[in-house]
Amino acid sequence: MAHSSTTRRRFGAALSTLGVGVAAAAALVGMAGTASAHKPDIKAECTDKGTVLQVNLENYDSRGSNTVKIMDGETVLLDTTEFKQNFSQSFDNLDATVDHVFTADVKAHDDPDGSKGFTKVLTAEAKACVTPPPTTTTEAPPTSSEAPPAPPAPTTTTPAAQPAPAPPLAETGASVALPLGIGAVLLVGGGVLLFVVRRRSRA
């Protein structure tokens, strides 16, 4: 009887150990399956036609809302967007003359604190592969420190000096009335003489 009890106890302990092992293995398998279900992927590539970014999020738990926010450095390419099971979007023709650092901030509803690795920030980089064209600048004409020559002063013609008027003749004290009076007397006397001569010739 004692031997039978000991055997039973050992068999029960073995079953218990086996059960714990199976449960632990099942838990690990379940966790691995859940982790492998989430497939986040981000890729960036620089081409001669522009830099291209591709973000793919597959097999997320669709029983709640998941979100993603995509940025190019400090520039927001896509604000926080909700998706269920899958999300896929590409961004083309980004500037290929500069370097890019892209981030995709993924938040899974079944991993709010990120402890399971479903909620994470994905990153991708793309170096510049196109040389920007040279910039053309228009040079201003050289400036001279010398002041420009002053325009010639307008020429004015000074009128020739007019001769001063001749001074009036000085008075000599002789009066023109006397000659005029003598002339008048001679004229009258001549007329009288002519009258007398004519009368005598008629007589």
- The answer on pLDDT for 28 being more than 60 is no
pLDDT of the residue at 162: 66
Residue 21 within a domain: no
197 against 91, higher pLDDT:
91
- Count structural domains, the chain: 1
pLDDT digits (tens, 9 = 90+) for 107-129: 999 999 999 999 999 999 999 99
Residue 55, in any domain of the structure: yes
Please check the confidence at residue 46 and state whether its pLDDT lies above 80: yes
> What confidence tier does 24 reach under pLDDT thresholds 50, 70, 90?
very low
Residue 110 lies in a domain: yes
Task: Find out whether 175 and 181 touch, Cβ atoms under 8 Å.
Answer: no
- Over residues 163-172, the pLDDT tens digits come to 666 655 555 5
Show the domain range for 46. 34-126
**Residue 59, domain member (yes or no):** yes
148 located within any domain: no
In whole angstroms, what is the distance from residue 92 CA to residue 135 CA?
Answer: 25
Tokens 């738990």 label which residue?
Answer: 61
CATH assignment of the domain containing 63:
2.60.40
- Contacts of 41 by beta carbon, 8 Å cutoff, 6+ apart: 54, 55, 56, 57, 58, 122
Given a cut of 50, whether residue 33 has pLDDT beyond it is: no
pLDDT above 60 (res 41): yes
Token digits of residue 95: 């500037």
